[in-house]
Amino acid sequence: MEIRAIIFDLGGTLIEYAGPYAVWPDLETPGFEAVFVSLQGKGVKLPSFAEFRDTGFAILPGRWQMAIKGERNLRLLDFLAEVLAVCHVNSVEEAWLEEAANLYQDAICAQAVPLEAANETLDFVKGRGYKMGLLSNTMFTAAAHVSDLQRFALDGYFDAMLFSADAGKWKPSADPYLDLLDQLQVAPENGIFVGDDPANDIVGGQRAGLRTILLRSSQRFSQPDGVYPDAVIGHLSELPIVLANWSNE
């Protein structure tokens, strides 16, 4: 097999966004705090913070599932508007909501750290002449994640990037993978996808015709029955070994 392109997931694969939180959506707590403080400071009448946060927690998993099923796109701005509506808060100016959404993103991104060996791994892949892509399921804007990549010096590697909320395309649909492959001008059989979520990253990559590598960077995701990645690694530093073995086939 001729390998021409490597596509990476972002969260949990190159950058970890969970901060001190072990369970999703608890990791979104700093975002809700930032929104609450911002709107409260503008005189918006809000419920208690616990009610506001828990309303968001109640809505978010369902909206995320709708997004990955292709039923409805999920953008942070729309999500916050829905949370406020459920809390019977209807007097928020659009500019205030946009500011609050940016503060939410900033709060979550502030707790992010790059995975160990992320830079070295991307250096290796780039140095071998592979085309490189980035594909992320996220309700945040592309700008927020590009800023993270720049902060950790991970931004100069990618020939194409796709962020689900901006594109309206979500893993595990094959569509975002095929869109990115088209941008890279690489056929699926010549591409590899690396991600940490079996149900979305691996299933989606296989639907698109890519070889897949599962990175077990955390215990956050279980592996559904019938989902078999082409390779499994426990650390990004193991990726060059897999690539070398496949290149020699």
pLDDT value for 160: 98
| Percentage with pLDDT > 70 across the chain | 100
Q: Identify which of 194, 221, 218, 215 has the alpha carbon closest to the alpha carbon of residue 205.
A: 194
- The DSSP bridge partners found for residue 233 are 215
What mean pLDDT comes out for the span 56-80? 97
Q: If one looks up domain 5-16+112-247 in CATH, what number appears?
A: 3.40.50.1000
**Segment 197-245, tens digit of pLDDT:** 999 999 999 999 999 999 998 877 777 788 999 999 999 999 999 999 9
What are the sequence ranges of the domains in the chain?
5-16+112-247, 26-110
**Segment 120-167, tens digit of pLDDT:** 999 999 999 999 999 999 999 999 999 999 999 999 999 999 999 999
Question: Which residue intervals of the chain are DSSP H helices?
Answer: 29-41, 49-68, 76-86, 94-110, 118-127, 142-151, 164-167, 175-184, 203-207, 239-247
Residue 132 phi, psi (nearest 5)? -130, 135
46 vs 221, more confident: 46
pLDDT value for 115: 97
pLDDT value for 242: 97
- Write the burial class of residue 156 (CB in 10 Å: 0-12 exposed, 13-18 middle, 19+ buried): exposed
